[in-house]
């Protein structure tokens, strides 16, 4: 199945702004987890999807609503009513083939991000869509399925580590984005080590498996680039936003995010160049080897084919073939053979073939 663009044909003919779940249903039941916190207190609880309408925000606290599983359109609609979420946002949340982007609406910011993880068996990077809705004192996150990406942030919230409890939901959103982008780096680093090491393998033993590896890495760098490039636009938009929702103190942190994404893309490009170089070198090496093979063949052929011919001459059965009857014919014959072989070897030696 196409990984670079998926499920677009399913969406054909949908009404724009009508939320229809497009993607693989990765969970049976939608999970809703809510964290309400301020500097002093933190409260966590789960909510049933059907009870979503009962949700009320405490205006003096920050509320993080995390929703795992995107197939429950009814729940999404109820939630959208509560938080005044635009229908295009609703559509994008459940249509998991979106590009990363940031959109500003009257009462909230909407982020689409891609979470990446690597399947180490077949070296395939897989992406999942994360949607964030960031309002004045709330943050709603939508994941395709339950994962452990945000565990570290949750722990910091619970244990009051870092400044996440002291600041508002905009900083919380930043923290989540930071988690995701750090993962990009780790994935790139994972490939990077292999990519930089391929060089030795090419020079030592350029077999076919290396060719497949180079190809696989090129494809994944291609995929990473395609996925992360829109993230840069999105983060860059975030860092340049002039919105009441973003506290001025959070801005330097968003610039830090931008640095990370930029560095990711630069390194992906450097690795792409490196892989192209790998492929060129591999290919030239193959040609070098062909030359060596052909030299060996040619040396053998050029020496022994004339010799065989001469032996063939004296294997003929002509009645009248005087040389056959000379006394020293046979030693002379050998001498001529050796002379020819010697001359040929000298010829190839002069050509620097061995």
Of 313 and 335, the one with the shorter C-beta distance to a second copy is: 313
CB-hemisphere CA count at 13 Å for 196?
8
Closest distance between a second copy and the C-beta of residue 215, in Å?
5
Of 58 and 314, the one with the shorter C-beta distance to a second copy is: 314
Of 59 and 327, the one with the shorter C-beta distance to a second copy is: 327
Encoding tokens for residue 97?
């083939």
Of 45 and 328, the one with the shorter C-beta distance to a second copy is: 328
Of 55 and 210, the one with the shorter C-beta distance to a second copy is: 210
Relative to beta strand 109-119, strand 124-134 is antiparallel
Closest distance between a second copy and the C-beta of residue 272, in Å?
9
Of 60 and 317, the one with the shorter C-beta distance to a second copy is: 317
- Cα distances (Å, whole numbers) of residue 218 to 189, 195, 212, 266, 268: 14, 10, 10, 15, 10
Encoding tokens for residue 128?
């999942």
Of 55 and 222, the one with the shorter C-beta distance to a second copy is: 222
- Rg (alpha carbons) of the chain, rounded to whole number: 35
Encoding tokens for residue 3?
């990984």
Of 16 and 56, the one with the shorter C-beta distance to a second copy is: 16
**What are the φ and ψ backbone dihedral angles of 98, each rounded to 5 degrees?**
-75, 155
Euclidean distance between CA atoms 79 and 276, whole angstroms = 49
- Cα distances (Å, whole numbers) of residue 188 to 59, 159, 192, 195, 228: 41, 30, 6, 10, 11
Closest distance between a second copy and the C-beta of residue 54, in Å?
29
Closest distance between a second copy and the C-beta of residue 40, in Å?
20
Closest distance between a second copy and the C-beta of residue 22, in Å?
12
Closest distance between a second copy and the C-beta of residue 246, in Å?
16
Closest distance between a second copy and the C-beta of residue 29, in Å?
28
Encoding tokens for residue 144?
């395709």
Closest distance between a second copy and the C-beta of residue 245, in Å?
17
Q: CA 154, 158, 161, 164: dihedral to nearest 10 degrees?
A: 60
Contacts of 84 (CB under 8 A, 6+ apart): 106, 107, 108
DSSP, res 14: P
Euclidean distance between CA atoms 317 and 235, whole angstroms = 91
Euclidean distance between CA atoms 2 and 9, whole angstroms = 12
């Amino acid at each position: 199945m196409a990984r670079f663009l998926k499920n677009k044909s399913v969406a054909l003919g949908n009404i724009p702004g009508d939320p229809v779940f497009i993607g693989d249903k990765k969970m049976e039941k939608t999970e809703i987890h809510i964290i309400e916190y301020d500097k002093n207190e933190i409260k966590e609880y789960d909510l049933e999807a059907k009870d979503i309408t009962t949700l009320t925000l405490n205006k003096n606290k920050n509320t993080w609503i995390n929703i795992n599983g995107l197939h429950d359109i009814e729940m999404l609609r109820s939630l959208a009513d509560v938080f005044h979420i635009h229908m295009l946002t609703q559509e994008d949340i459940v249509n998991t083939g979106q590009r990363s982007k940031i959109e500003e609406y009257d009462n909230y910011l909407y982020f689409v991000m891609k979470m990446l993880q690597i399947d180490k068996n077949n070296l395939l990077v897989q992406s999942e869509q994360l949607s964030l809705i960031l309002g004045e004192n709330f943050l709603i996150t939508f994941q395709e399925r339950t994962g452990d990406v945000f565990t570290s942030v949750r722990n910091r919230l619970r244990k009051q580590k870092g400044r996440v409890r002291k600041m508002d939901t905009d900083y919380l959103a930043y923290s989540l984005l930071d988690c995701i982008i750090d993962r990009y780096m780790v994935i790139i680093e994972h490939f990077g080590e292999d990519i930089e090491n391929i060089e030795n393998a090419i020079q030592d033993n350029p077999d076919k498996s290396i060719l497949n590896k180079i190809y696989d890495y090129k494809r994944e760098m291609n995929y990473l680039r395609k996925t992360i490039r829109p993230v840069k636009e999105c983060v860059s938009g975030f860092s340049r936003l002039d919105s009441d929702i973003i506290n001025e103190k959070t801005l330097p942190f968003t610039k830090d995010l931008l640095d990370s994404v930029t560095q990711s893309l630069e390194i992906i490009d450097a690795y792409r160049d490196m892989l192209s170089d790998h492929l060129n070198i591999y290919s030239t090496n193959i040609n070098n080897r062909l030359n060596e093979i052909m030299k060996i063949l040619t040396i053998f052929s050029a020496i022994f084919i004339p010799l065989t011919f001469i032996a063939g001459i004296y294997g003929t059965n002509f009645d009248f073939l005087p040389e056959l009857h000379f006394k020293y014919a046979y030693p002379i014959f050998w001498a001529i053979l050796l002379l020819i072989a010697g001359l040929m070897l000298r010829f190839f030696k002069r050509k620097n073939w061995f």
